[in-house]
Amino acid sequence: MIISVLFVFCGQSKTSVESIDTLYIYHNIGEVKSYYSADEETQVNTYFSIDSLDRAVLYYCVNSLYPTSTFVIENKFSSYFVVNRNKLVVKYAGDNHLYCIDSSSKITGVLELDLGMENNEPYVLAAMQYAYYIPVAQDSGLLYSSRFLMSYNNYKKNKDIRLRRFSQPVITEFTLNKERLTAHRGIGHYPLSHLSVDSTYSHYWFWTALNKDLDIVAAYFFLDSLYVVHRNNTQDRYPLKSKYQHHVNETIDPNESNNYNYLAEKACESTSYMYLRYDAYRDLYYVVVSKAMPYENEDGTHNNAADKPWSLIILDSKFNQKAEIDMPKHLSKHELMIIPEGLAVKDPTRSDNNKSCFIIYNVNL
């Protein structure tokens, strides 16, 4: 195994990220998530693969890259959310019901859906794959889900609609029991930039993380701040600034919001913040920085924003930015998981259709 150490000096402190191990998952995996689970009271990783019968399989991994439980989804699905190691909720494509699936992959019940203040069921459900479940009593709890707004018709072009929607809360709180999923209230608010009549930052999704205090932390694609939403409906803002961001990102021209080449160019040539992760073992936060690069090459070919070089910002439990570390370009910024040993980053050059290779980095502040 090749050992590599990346150092960053911050004042008198030294941060190192050292590769200490290589682990293989013997599936070609995707849709990787890593988060603090209030139900498990520790870190959970989830990911999908496709089995030999062309079924989607969700792997639920506690303190590991390897599964504690698995859920086989028999039919094509349009949205889902994970409750805990024993329960997955799925909406199948073309079916308006929410099905509860246990870890033996049996359907154990059907949830009634009461959106309350919400008014667009498909987008509400689509957002729930980014939800966090907090148990309250046996067989019941709270579900905190990001608002999924960017796909509303004429939403990006209509200033009045943007202002109206972004005046609403950023997080929806649901109550969940055996029979029903009910929208309860909204908490938090969008950044002021979203409320500007000239803003189209709304075109981009944002990333969230739940911490041990059960705060929801949000990072926005083009904004140099972290936002912390507390369950008492207060919100704090903390600076987030990459050393590679040399100017304020421009907003998107709403008249070009359906122009793929325009959007691809903006995505390539802007520094952006992605894949916020909370590390429950070390009480740290990681934010991927996707560095700006030219969209068009000298030979007229175009670069893909998915291939941009990247770095990793590390913040402590008080949201102080401790370091920014340049990561090897060949590693995937899209697939990061957290285990007791450190940060697991996928190496696509050593992965194939039958296996996924992860390099384990030990983070020392």
Residue with tokens 């949830």: 111
Q: SS3 string of 190-237?
A: CCHHHHCCCCCHHHCCEEEEECCCCCEEEEECCCCEEEEECCCCCEEE
Report the pLDDT value the prediction gives residue 157, as an integer from 0 to 100. Answer: 58
Please report which helix (H) or strand (E) contains residue 269, including its range: helix 260-269
Mean pLDDT per 10-residue section of the chain, whose length is 365 residues: 48 69 96 96 97 95 98 91 95 87 94 73 72 90 77 55 78 91 89 69 74 95 91 95 84 74 86 94 96 90 89 96 93 96 96 96 87
Whole-model pTM above 0.75? yes
What amino acid occupies position 259? N
Give the HSE-up count for residue 191: Cα atoms under 13 Å, Cβ half-sphere. 22
Closest by Cα among 298, 324, 191, 192 to 245: 324
- State the Cα angle at 194 between 182 and 284, rounded to 5°: 75
Do the beta carbons of residue 286 and residue 312 sit within 8 Å? yes
Closest by Cα among 364, 361, 365, 363 to 23: 361
Report the pLDDT value the prediction gives residue 160, as an integer from 0 to 100. Answer: 75
Query: In angstroms, what CA-CA distances link 289 with 4, 71, 257, 274, 308?
Result: 20, 32, 23, 6, 10
**C-alpha to C-alpha distance for 22 and 353, rounded to whole angstroms:** 18
DSSP-derived secondary structure letter, 349: G
**C-alpha to C-alpha distance for 36 and 19, rounded to whole angstroms:** 23
Tokens read off for 305: 């924003």
CATH classification at residue 218: 2.130.10
Number of domains in the chain: 1
Domain that holds residue 97: 5-364
Residue with tokens 């894949």: 275
Do the beta carbons of residue 142 and residue 131 sit within 8 Å? no
Report the pLDDT value the prediction gives residue 212, as an integer from 0 to 100. Answer: 97
**C-alpha to C-alpha distance for 75 and 336, rounded to whole angstroms:** 27
Work out the burial of residue 334: count CB atoms within 10 Å of its CB; fewer than 13 is exposed, 13-18 middle, 19 or more buried: middle
Q: Is 176 left (phi over 0), alpha (psi -120 to 50) or beta?
A: beta
